[in-house]
Structures are given as C-alpha cells and as structure tokens.
C-alpha cells in the first residue's frame, strides 16, 4: 500500500532505503528500453600491486544512493534526458584467467552495444578498459580523455601484456583509439624507467603531467582536452588514483600531489560538448578506503560522467 504517489519513484524515496542500484536508478534485467546503462565490472585480475577493486561496484552502488538528480552547476538532469538504468554486472565466470576474463567482459559489452546502450562502467582495475574498448570501438577508433596518475601505456610486465598498466598501449596497437585524438591528464609519480611513458609520446597522445595541470588549472585543462579530442565519438576513462590520496585513499596505486575532488568535477564539467559515447571509472579499492571517502568521490564523479553522456546522447 503506497499513500504517496512520489514513493513509486525509487529516486524520490528516502535515500537510505531500498536495494542499492547505481544512483537509485531503475534495475533493468532486460537490455531493452535503456539509453545509458550503468554497469559494474567486479574484476581486478589485472592488478600489479594492491588489489581490491573487484569490490568497487558494490561499494559505489551503496554510496551512490546519496546522489540526487540535478547537477547544481550545469543544471543537467540526466535521468530526465535519457532512460538510465542499472544493468547489473559484467559477469566473469573464469576470473582467475586474465585473458579469457577479458574475453567474457568484451562479450558482455557487445551485447550491451547491440541493444543500443551507451555504457557507463565502474571497475574493476584499469585492465577492464581494454575489453570494453574492444566492444565499443569495434566499428571505428575513438578519441580518448584519460584522467589518471599513470599513462597506462606500459608494456609487458612479469609475463603479462594485459595488466592494468598497459590497456591504452594495447588499445592503440589494436586500432581502438586514435592517438592523435587522445589526451592523458594528471600524470605523476616516480618512474621505474625514465622512458616509462615513451609509448604515449611516440604515438602522439597529448600527455598533461600534473605540473602542467597545476599551472593551467582544471578549466583550461578541459579546454585543452576539447581541442585535442575535437569532433567525433570519444571514450572517457577516469582512474580514481588521479585524485590525491587525501581525497581518494582507497586505491591500489596511490600517488601524492594529485587532483582535488573539486578540480576533477570542474575538469569533467568542462568536457561538455564532447561526444562521449562510453565511459568508465576504475581502480576504487574499498579495502584500502577510509570511511568511504573514495567511494563517495567515485559516486559523485560518476554522476558528472553520466551528465556528460546524457547530453551527448540527446545531441546525437
């Protein structure tokens, strides 16, 4: 028995109630009638150091119940613009075999794409971006906005080519990304080798190291991203370790001297107008989190990413 009509809408009920879907969106068991699908990828088999990102989708779903429907800064109301639903997790039935796990993730995303859905994903470690890109960039290479402390264009590491430090190298090699339309922002931390990110530079990707970001500021960095990526479809990948560990301690490879949460919000809002057809937010590791700081930041940044995708979806 429901007395209040508005209680029929899960997003209007008290935010602490009900089952935790991403941003209290509708839980969709079928892929029909969905424009933007919110997806969890509970997989961290590509991590080279501290694990735990497999627990992120559940934790971000929980914290994302705090998210409301209207973006205060841009006035975008993504749930009004598009049919947004939580379409569950990309199941991995063989999670301890990295390459076949990636094949399973790719197969899931191919079904999502075939249903006409634009996916916004929560990993998982950063290795999951590669199988997602294999599905979403199958038809043509995409532009890339990649926000991270690391370029993730490394090479083989201890016998693996597909660990979380290499997805964007593999994606360029496989023709999934147009490196001339790719920008990487927030790069910092000590190197194992002075030429660690040589691939990014050789391929022609625009690399904005943290020192340059600090000088230019978030708004100007967004302008640079729009200049580099330009017209055409693009993928947005946000590694939570781009944030300073003060704002996101719950991650596997923390690097001091990073973005504030506010800078990340301003940076993302500055990307309005880009044709972002798919996105992911990765590397949240709840076992290393403190009081949910990281999961809360992730949920809020996911909302900013959803706003970008919703505007792009109705523009196209």
**Which tokens is 245 given?**
């560990």
Residue of 79, 19, 28, 90 whose CA lies nearest to 54: 90
Residue among 54 and 313 whose Cβ is closer to Mn ion: 54
Q: How far is the CB of 140 from Mn ion (least distance, A)?
A: 24
State the residues that interact with Mn ion by CB under 5 A.
Answer: 126, 148-150, 152, 239, 241
Give least dist CB 247 to Mn ion, A: 14
**Residue 196 beta carbon to Mn ion: minimum distance, rounded to whole angstroms:** 12
Q: Which is nearer to Mn ion, 30 or 49 (CB)?
A: 49
Distances (CA, A) of 172 to 99, 129, 140, 283, 309: 18, 12, 12, 21, 23
Tell me whether residue 249 is exposed, middle or buried, using C-beta atoms within 10 angstroms of its C-beta: 0 to 12, 13 to 18, 19 or more: middle
**Length in residues, the chain:** 316
What's the closest the beta carbon of residue 259 comes to Mn ion, in angstroms?
12
Nearest 5°: phi and psi at 86? -85, 110
Nearest to Mn ion of 44, 152 (CB atom)? 152
- Least Å from the CB of residue 243 to Mn ion: 10
Choose between 55 and 169: whose C-beta lies nearer to Mn ion. 169
Cβ proximity to Mn ion, 89 vs 152, nearer residue:
152
CB 206 to Mn ion: min, Å: 17
* CA dihedral sign of residues 92, 31, 21, 272: positive
Nearer to Mn ion (CB atom), residue 86 or residue 152: 152
Within a 10 A sphere around the Cβ of 277, how many other Cβ atoms?
21
Report H helices in 153-237. Answer: 167-173, 198-203, 210-229
Residues 302 and 265: beta-carbon distance below 8 Å? no
């Amino acid at each position: 028995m429901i007395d209040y009509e508005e209680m029929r809408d899960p997003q209007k009920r008290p935010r602490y109630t009900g089952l935790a879907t991403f941003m209290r969106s509708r839980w969709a068991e079928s892929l029909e009638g969905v424009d933007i699908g919110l997806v969890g990828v509970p997989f961290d088999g590509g991590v080279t150091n501290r694990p735990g990102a497999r627990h992120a989708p559940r934790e971000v779903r929980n914290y994302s119940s705090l998210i409301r429907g209207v973006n205060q800064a841009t006035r975008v109301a993504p749930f009004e613009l598009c049919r947004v639903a939580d379409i569950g997790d990309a199941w991995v039935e063989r999670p301890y075999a990295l390459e076949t796990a990636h094949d399973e993730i790719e197969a899931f995303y191919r079904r999502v794409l075939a249903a006409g859905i634009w996916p916004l994903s929560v990993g998982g470690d950063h290795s999951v971006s590669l199988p997602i890109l294999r599905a979403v960039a199958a038809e043509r290479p995409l532009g890339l906005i990649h926000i991270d402390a690391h370029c993730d264009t490394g090479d083989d590491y201890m016998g693996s080519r597909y660990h979380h430090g290499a997805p964007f190298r593999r994606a360029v090699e496989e023709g999934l990304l147009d490196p001339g339309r790719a920008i990487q922002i927030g790069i910092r931390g000590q190197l194992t080798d002075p030429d660690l990110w040589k691939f990014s530079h050789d391929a022609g990707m625009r690399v904005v190291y943290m020192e340059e970001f600090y000088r230019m500021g978030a708004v100007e960095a967004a302008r640079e991203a729009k200049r580099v990526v330009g017209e055409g479809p693009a993928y947005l990948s946000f590694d939570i370790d781009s944030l300073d560990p003060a704002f996101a301690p719950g991650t596997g490879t923390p690097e001091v001297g990073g973005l504030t949460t506010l800078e990340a919000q301003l940076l993302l809002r500055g990307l309005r107008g880009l044709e972002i057809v798919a996105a992911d937010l990765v590397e949240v590791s709840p076992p290393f989190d403190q009081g949910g700081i990281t999961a809360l930041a992730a949920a809020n940044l996911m909302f900013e990413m959803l706003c970008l995708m919703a505007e792009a979806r109705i523009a196209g």
